[in-house]
Structure 1
Amino acid sequence: MIFRASLSRPWLRRGIWVGAAVLAAAAAGIFFFGDGFSTEKPVYRFAKVSRGDIKSVVSASGSLRPVVTVLVGSQVSGKIAELLADFNSPVKAGQVIGRLDPAAFEAKVWQLEADLQVARSNVSMQEASLIAMKADIDGAKSVLKDAEQDFARKKELLGRRAVAQSVVDKAVSVKDQAVAKVNGTVAKLKMQEAQVQHAHASVEEKKAELKQRQLDLSYTIIRSPVDGVVISRNVDVGQTVAASLQAPTLFTIAQDLREMQVEVSVDEADIGRIQQEQEVTFTVDAFPEREYSGKVTQIRKAPTEISNVVTYTVIVGAQNPDFSLLPGMTANVTMVVGAREDVLKIENAALRFRPADAAAREQAARNGQSSDRMEQRIERLTKSLELSAEQQRDIRAVYAGIEVRAKAMRDQGIEQEEIRRALRTMRENSRKEIAPLLNERQRARYAELARKRDQSASRRAQLWVLNGSGDLTPVSVSVGISDGSVTELVRGDLKEGQSVVVAQVKGAASAPRRSPFGF
């Protein structure tokens, strides 16, 4: 009753609620601003810059093939009568390795031999007729001569009125008949000469047909065109082969299995790094523990596109003295496209690391490093080219112009990738501005340095280290070749043994203490 009476008083109820609110606020303050929960400072994982050798390779697969493979076919159709070689048979050039049934081809040869004899007999007959024609012409000319003489005598006698006019007319008629006889015989002679020529042509035609049939008969004997080993036989005795449009393949012969080649399919992204005479190693599934060596002998320019993937065929030559490599084996090829000895290298994870606030940190570091990098470049050029003070000043002005334009692009909020492309263009143009500032000897040396820089295939990258205050600081470097796990450091303000950040491990939040109110 006393408690109820107390609660009925308004001022007392307000006091209780105010007290409860104060207690809740105090508890919340202790919970949130005390040790209710705490966030650990981020922890980083590091890798050290090391020194050693590094190789950059391109991995691909391909098929083993003999250097020279000959497909032996048949140029004529027929039935296989005999096979004198089989799989793995060693053969010599010219060796008989198979025969087709020659009966039909022999019959055609005999027929054409007989036709040739007939044609030759026809020539003899036509030539005899020609001789007879020539004799007929001689006789006709003799008759004509006699008729002309008779006509002349009778004409003379007609002038002396010793003979009648009819006698002279008859002599004229006889003479005209003799002339027509001569002309007709000459025409027949020409026709006979044409017949003789035709007969000779028929003989040559029969000779050509006979030669073709003899050649077809010779084609029934299948010979090896090269020294080598039969790696495939595609027919059996009794099988009929048809060579109407394309010569059927009977045997496949590898010329020399001691020399093999690997036809490697290389992705278009890697083909630019492949060059002639590059060292190559490969393995085959039959001998996985054994490593074979070879060299790039050919880079074929014809592309192969399958499902929008473009590859190019690279030919690798390899020796096979023990014949352990067989045609058709799959080779797992490793091409060495770059090698460096005793160089600084860093794990690839360090190149991939980028903190969440990288842009702000890069800008802060860039503001203090731009002039330092420029001075470092000028210092390297001064040492290599022996620049004068005036040349250093002019080159410094060229580099300063690049820095000004780059800063303007960053201030405009242009994307970093676009800025990198613009910087590459500006650096290429700066070479044209610097060259006129040098003498002839310096220009030659500068061109050589630029060429080596281009051939080094180095690229700009950024690593992260902890400064003396324990804060992340970016370090610009130039990197070279990579073997997939580590990458060469070409240039940069890093030393062997220095730690570089490769990952950030966020601090695990400690378990929050329970509030006094049980939540």
Structure 2
Amino acid sequence: MSDNYGLRPSACRATGQAKSGGLVSSYTSFAYPVFAIVVSLGLSACGERNAFVPPPPPKIELAAPVKQTVTRYLMATGNAAAINTTTLVARVQGFIQGIDYNDGDAVKTGKTLFVIEQKPYQLSLEQAQAGLASAEANTKKTKADYERQVDLAAKNIASQATLDAATATYDAAVAAQKQQQVDIEQAQLNLSYTDVQAPFDGIVTARQVSMGQLVGAGSPTTLATIVQIEPIYVTFAVSEADVQSIRSDMRARAITPEELKKIPVEVGLQSETGFPHKGTLDYAAPSITSATGTLLVRGIFENPNRALLPGYFVRVRVPRGKDVNALLVPDRVVGSDQAGRYVYVANKDNVIEQRKIELGPQVGDLRVVEKGISADDRVVISGLMTVVPGQKIEPVMTTISAPAPDAGAGP
């Protein structure tokens, strides 16, 4: 077919020459204008060269680190514990004649909870009182005899032996009177034991005895338990490294042991957000526990609504100081590799750089950066999975939301 049109195999080198013959020459004359246009277009296309056009730089969000004051906290896990827990027992023998509370009641100091049979102890008290009256009468008589013998001995009428006998009789009567006084006190004490009272404000557990039951026979009988939870303790352990750091801070800030007890302690339950319960330090053990390498520390909380119960596991934080110029970045933008932690930043030419950093405590969703960036750096916020060091970007500036005011810095 190419021979009929006078074309060579190469479309870009068409000569337009026709073979001899009238029919062929006539047809060529008719097709020449169209052929010229096609050849012209083909030559034009063959003259262009393909050139790579790079894509535009990706738009990446950048933001400066948040700069604000951060309270640094010591974070720990602790347990709530009752300030007082006492088992109520029968200290005298007798039958239970009264139970004056409902299981689980909150009672005040001095509230009568159990009444043990009182009649035998009341009779013992009256018997001791009668004995005291008899002893007082005998003492009065022997005192008069003793004084009479003293007068007679002074006049050399009575012998010394008679005076000595009167003196001994009088001394014995005085001793017997004192014994009767002791017997009365013992009888009163035993009688008081029949009225079992609350030793402090607290909640009384379920009773362990029933009405009419004999108690105190042979050994003390448990009646119930009373627990004080207003206020309440929270105990927690501090590592040896933290103890040394805290002691260094105390020396630097000249904090005395008395002032240490005024340091606030905040507590939150596992189901609560934040640390809504406020208290103060109450006690720190004098030595490190060698088995665990920790120091036992205790805080005290008013607990007016009884939100904290003995045995609860709680989150604890204790303020250690403030950092007024802390730099914070979102925790999600922090990457890690074998060399440590890093963030991506954009330099003045909008080229991505990987910056090694040292992290501090976490504050809400942000992290304190101790070293590695400055307040003027532009940290990469978006596109973290696609950007690479050395990449040119188109910056889109944004801001990082500051943490809540009560968000403390913890590990």
Q: What is the TM-score normalised by the length of structure 1?
A: 0.45
Per the alignment, residue 174 of structure 2 pairs with: 200
Letter of the 1:496 partner, please give it: D
The alpha-carbon distance between structure 1 residues 299 and 76, as it changes in their structure 2 partners (threshold 3 A), is: closer
Asked if the contact 2:234/2:300 (under 8 Å) is kept, the reply is: yes
Q: Answer yes or no: is 1:120 the counterpart of 2:136.
A: yes
Q: Answer yes or no: is 1:489 the counterpart of 2:369.
A: yes
The correspondence of residues 47-446 of structure 1 with structure 2, limited to 5 A, is 50-52=64-66, 57-65=73-81, 68-69=83-84, 71=86, 73=88, 76-79=91-94, 80-127=96-143, 129-130=145-146, 141=157, 185-226=159-200, 228-233=201-206, 235-237=208-210, 238=213, 240-241=215-216, 250-254=224-228, 257=230, 259-270=231-242, 272=245, 276-278=262-264, 280-285=266-271, 288=272, 292-302=276-286, 305=289, 308=292, 310-317=294-301, 319-320=303-304, 323=305, 325-328=307-310, 330-335=312-317, 337=319, 343-346=326-329, 347=331, 350=334, 352-355=336-339
The alpha-carbon distance between structure 1 residues 50 and 309, as it changes in their structure 2 partners (threshold 3 A), is: farther
- In 1, distance between residues paired with 2:242 and 2:364? 14
Letter of the 1:116 partner, please give it: L
- In 2, distance between residues paired with 1:473 and 1:138? 116
Cα-Cα RMSD: 5.0
Report the CA distance between 1:217 and its aligned residue: 1.5
Asked if the contact 1:59/1:332 (under 8 Å) is kept, the reply is: no
The alpha-carbon distance between structure 1 residues 289 and 282, as it changes in their structure 2 partners (threshold 3 A), is: closer
Moved more, 214-223 or 129-138: 129-138
Asked if the contact 1:57/1:336 (under 8 Å) is kept, the reply is: yes
Letter of the 1:240 partner, please give it: V
Spell out, residue by residue over 1:316-370, the C-alpha distance to the aligned partner (whole angstroms, 9 max, x if none): 52543xx351522524314264666885334488585345xx9xxxxxxxxxxxx
- In 2, distance between residues paired with 1:297 and 1:209? 47
- In 1, distance between residues paired with 2:280 and 2:314? 15
SS at match of 1:211: helix
Asked if the contact 1:50/1:345 (under 8 Å) is kept, the reply is: no
Asked if the contact 1:353/1:463 (under 8 Å) is kept, the reply is: no
The alpha-carbon distance between structure 1 residues 265 and 478, as it changes in their structure 2 partners (threshold 3 A), is: closer
Report the CA distance between 1:243 and its aligned residue: 9.6
Asked if the contact 1:112/1:209 (under 8 Å) is kept, the reply is: yes
- Is there any run of 5+ residues in structure 1 with no aligned partner, and where? 1-45, 142-181, 359-460, 507-519
- In 2, distance between residues paired with 1:251 and 1:299? 26
- In 2, distance between residues paired with 1:486 and 1:335? 18
Letter of the 1:262 partner, please give it: V
Report the CA distance between 1:213 and its aligned residue: 1.8
Asked if the contact 1:284/1:329 (under 8 Å) is kept, the reply is: no
The alpha-carbon distance between structure 1 residues 311 and 232, as it changes in their structure 2 partners (threshold 3 A), is: farther
- In 2, distance between residues paired with 1:487 and 1:47? 18
Asked if the contact 1:463/1:474 (under 8 Å) is kept, the reply is: yes
Asked if the contact 1:63/1:329 (under 8 Å) is kept, the reply is: yes
Per the alignment, residue 250 of structure 2 pairs with: none
- Is there any run of 5+ residues in structure 2 with no aligned partner, and where? 1-59, 248-259, 389-411
Report the CA distance between 1:199 and its aligned residue: 1.1
Report the CA distance between 1:113 and its aligned residue: 3.1
- In 1, distance between residues paired with 2:154 and 2:166? 16
Asked if the contact 1:56/1:483 (under 8 Å) is kept, the reply is: no
Report the CA distance between 1:315 and its aligned residue: 1.0
Asked if the contact 2:344/2:352 (under 8 Å) is kept, the reply is: no
Identity across aligned pairs (percent)? Answer: 14
- In 1, distance between residues paired with 2:61 and 2:265? 31
- In 2, distance between residues paired with 1:300 and 1:243? 41
Asked if the contact 2:198/2:226 (under 8 Å) is kept, the reply is: no
Q: Which has the higher strand share?
A: 2
Report the CA distance between 1:95 and its aligned residue: 3.0
- In 2, distance between residues paired with 1:223 and 1:48? 70
Report the CA distance between 1:282 and its aligned residue: 0.6
SS at match of 1:87: coil
- In 1, distance between residues paired with 2:145 and 2:358? 101
Q: Number of residue pairs matched?
A: 305
Report the CA distance between 1:472 and its aligned residue: 7.6
- In 2, distance between residues paired with 1:74 and 1:260? 24
- In 1, distance between residues paired with 2:89 and 2:218? 7
Letter of the 1:263 partner, please give it: T
SS at match of 1:60: strand
The alpha-carbon distance between structure 1 residues 496 and 290, as it changes in their structure 2 partners (threshold 3 A), is: closer
- In 2, distance between residues paired with 1:129 and 1:344? 98
Per the alignment, residue 384 of structure 1 pairs with: none
Which structure's CA Rg is the greater one?
1
The alpha-carbon distance between structure 1 residues 102 and 306, as it changes in their structure 2 partners (threshold 3 A), is: farther
The alpha-carbon distance between structure 1 residues 498 and 81, as it changes in their structure 2 partners (threshold 3 A), is: same
Q: Which has the higher helix share?
A: 1
Report the CA distance between 1:51 and its aligned residue: 2.4
Q: What is the TM-score normalised by the length of structure 2?
A: 0.55
Spell out, residue by residue over 1:398-421, the C-alpha distance to the aligned partner (whole angstroms, 9 max, x if none): xxxxxxxxxxxxxxxxxxxxxxxx
- In 2, distance between residues paired with 1:81 and 1:98? 8
Letter of the 1:277 partner, please give it: I
